[in-house]
A and B are shown apart, each in its own frame.
Chain A
Amino acid sequence: MAQTKIKVDGGLAVLEDKIAPHRETPVTPPGSVSAYNMNRHCTACQLCVSACPNNVLRPSTDPLRLMQPEMSFERGFCRPECTHCSHVCPTGAIQPISSEQKTAIHIGHAVWLEPNCIPVVNGDSCGLCAKQCPTWAIAMEDREYNGRIVSVPVVDTERCIGCGKCEHLCPARPFSAIIVEGNVMHQIN
């Protein structure tokens, strides 16, 4: 039927699946202390991968860390109250932690990718990463793009614990406009 396309009621926007970004340093779960500790102790038994209720952990395909766990946030993020993986690890690659301890373990830090960011791309006001950040590590700053002033995120990496909530919820698809880079050694404070 020939007709102009106008907005009607109902329907759901098609959502493209997210694609994992390339990370310089892989993100490993809280309790694993460092990439070195993980690499040395992990037997790639997959207990942590199968225990992860947030669909964050998956086996690595990197030949040097083959089948050892790493984190990515297309289907969920490392929820603050969850410490499942640390309690199932039989080898000490991920040491047991409490959810209170977890709040002070910085496994990575968020990095903003300007060209993907929705306010930069289409001018919609967003700020979802800042609103949702559990540690208030992200703030919004006004910047000018294409002649319009829009608010874009800035990250306080000292506060960021690398949970990946910002990356998971970022409306930019398939590549998020804010991603987590791992810390080679988890910082505790």
Chain B
Amino acid sequence: MDRREFLKHSTAALAGTSVLLSACGKKKPSAVSNQHSEPEGSMTLRVNPNTGDKVSLLGFGMMRLPVVAGGTARENPDSPIDQEAVNAMVDHALAHGVNLFDTSPLYCQGNSENSLGIALARHPRNTYYISTKMSNFDPATWSLAESQAMFERSLQRLQTDYVDYLLLHGIGMSGGGLNAWETFQKRYIENGLLDWLIEQKRKGRIRNLGFSYHGDQKVFDQLLQWHDEGNVHWDTVLIELNYVDWNYADEINSRNTDAAYLYEELKKRTIPVFVMEPLLGGRLAHQPHAIVRQMQHLNPNLSPAAWAFRFAGTPDGVLSVLSGMTYLEHLKENIATYSPLRPLEDKDWSFLMRLADEICAMKAIPCTACNYCMPCPYGLNIPQIFNYYNACIAEGLLPDMTAHGDAEFLRKRRAFLVGYDRTVPGMRQADHCIGCRRCMPHCPQRIKIPQEMQKIDRLVENLKQL
């Protein structure tokens, strides 16, 4: 066989192999994973009745951005935001039809807007919508001048001269020792800020004006009454909506309001709804084994997160579901879930309502790890402690004190205590809570943080002394 003949034969052989290989690809044993691959269709869009904007059902929340040291600022609070990763995710989101980006001057220790601005400035301004917030929680920012400066700073950091959505942040929460209504008055009415914002909307610097809502139902009802009376027009309202909060928000915490009520009131007035916490701070994505098995039994291809997103997207008054995503994999999965959305059927809806019963009965602490309570002046890592406790509940690893002595209990006791020390450094654990209550007004979930800390510490102490 001379050289030329050899080449001819080997090329033919190679071609044959590649044909064989490609044939393999089409048949079953596949070497290529199809998990979170390119979405089947295109992103579901919903129309904003006020402006005619076509908004993607998935909105990218910029509250849980990745940091250079790995994870989010929750795990590595001193590490800067990983801008490369943010750019990559924003690019991927835009390329797959996600066109709404939601941030706040407070997120990621105040660095979120800046990071989003950098990522978005690389794309034409008319290809996306920006939503940010008037986050004047701190009494030091209650004056008109300070609040105005906050808004101007937002525009500057976002590298734009208008925002598409501006939300009054955390309405219904109380601050500075006042109740929720008084706080609202101080933040937006007495200083003339709301009027100023309405003026900015007339000037086109704000395209839609709305509010994000946590907690006190009286304030919510009052604001909607103003809307009915024509005093102010709310273009959108951001509410917490997921299958647990739909009917159980007030069972979990009597000072919260069921999502079903909030949604119906907004729908009646055709105010488009933004959804936050579709996964309850990730808790609905990491579910106990027993619950995951029920979901898999019904549909082996849907993850717990996909179930939760389908739930949040199903009500047609929902304009966009905002999800704070840290990892590209989560973004891809969520895009796939909404490309397009397959709305829940009635039987699926009632299945999730049944699961909500079970989840509620587990008595987890309703922390969504938003980190608004942080930093605790006495050094505790509040969300990390709650997160660890909840994870143990969800996995059925919480030792049952009534069964103490048996082998199973001893195993769980050891695992719980060792895990606690590994997860939360000693000087940031629950036993250091002095009960100063400074954290409480910052918690959108209205958790009685000092009481929960005492409860966890008592458990730890009892376990240690056995």
Contact = CB atoms under 8 A, between A and B. Distances in A.
A13 B378 contact: yes
A128 B371 CA distance: 24
Interface residues of A, number: 26
Q: Is the interface of B mostly helix, strand, loop or mixed?
A: loop
Given A4-B140, A12-B379, A125 B107 contact: no
B91 interface: no
A40 B212 CA distance: 70
A128 B432 contact: yes
Give the one of B146, B438, B465, B466 with max A CB within 10 A: B465
Contacts of B466: 81
B378 A171 contact: yes
Nearest to B433: A128
Given A9-B372, A10-B73, A131-B454, A126 B435 contact: yes
Contacts of A131: 435, 454
Interface string B372-385: 10111111010000
Interface in B391-444: 426-428, 431-438, 442
Contacts of A156: none
Contacts of B222: none
A13 B439 CA distance: 13
A3 to B, nearest CB: 7
B207 interface: no
A127 B372 CA distance: 25
Interface in B18-65: 63
A126 B77 contact: no
Given A128-B435, A169-B431, A6 B138 contact: yes
Interface in A1-19: 3-4, 6-13, 15
A114 interface: no
Contacts of B77: 10-12
B371 A9 contact: yes
A118 B371 contact: no
Nearest to B438: A124
Contacts of B437: 125
A80 interface: yes
A171 B137 CA distance: 27
Nearest to B429: A169
Contact of B436 (A7, A125, A132): A125
A188 B109 CA distance: 53
Given A7-B137, A125-B435, A126-B434, A15 B110 contact: no
Contact of A126 (B73, B374, B436, B454): B436
B381 A12 contact: yes
A124 B436 CA distance: 6
Q: Is the interface of A mostly helix, strand, loop or mixed?
A: loop
A79 interface: yes
B370 interface: yes
Given A10-B108, A13-B375, A171 B432 contact: yes
B106 to A, nearest CB: 5
Interface string A56-78: 00000000000000000001100
Nearest to B383: A10
B109 A124 contact: no
B109 A9 contact: yes
B214 interface: no
Nearest to A79: B464
Contact of A9 (B108, B426, B428, B431): B108
B435 A4 contact: no
Give the one of B110, B149, B466 with max A CB within 10 A: B110
Contacts of B140: 4, 6
B465 to A, nearest CB: 5
B153 interface: yes
A11 B109 contact: yes
Interface of B: 63, 73-74, 77, 105-110, 137-138, 140-141, 146, 149, 153, 370-372, 374-379, 381, 426-428, 431-438, 442, 454, 464-466
Complex A-B, nearest 4 residue pairs according to Cβ-Cβ distance, in ascending order = A10-B371, A124-B436, A8-B110, A126-B434
27 contacts: A4-B141, A6-B138, A6-B141, A7-B106, A7-B137, A7-B138, A8-B109, A8-B110, A9-B108, A9-B371, A9-B374, A10-B77, A10-B109, A10-B374, A12-B374, A12-B379, A12-B428, A13-B375, A13-B377, A13-B379, A81-B465, A124-B438, A126-B434, A127-B434, A131-B454, A132-B431, A169-B431
Given A81-B466, A131-B454, 17 more contacts: A3-B153, A4-B140, A4-B141, A7-B106, A10-B74, A10-B374, A12-B375, A12-B379, A15-B379, A118-B434, A126-B434, A126-B435, A127-B434, A128-B432, A128-B434, A128-B435, A131-B435
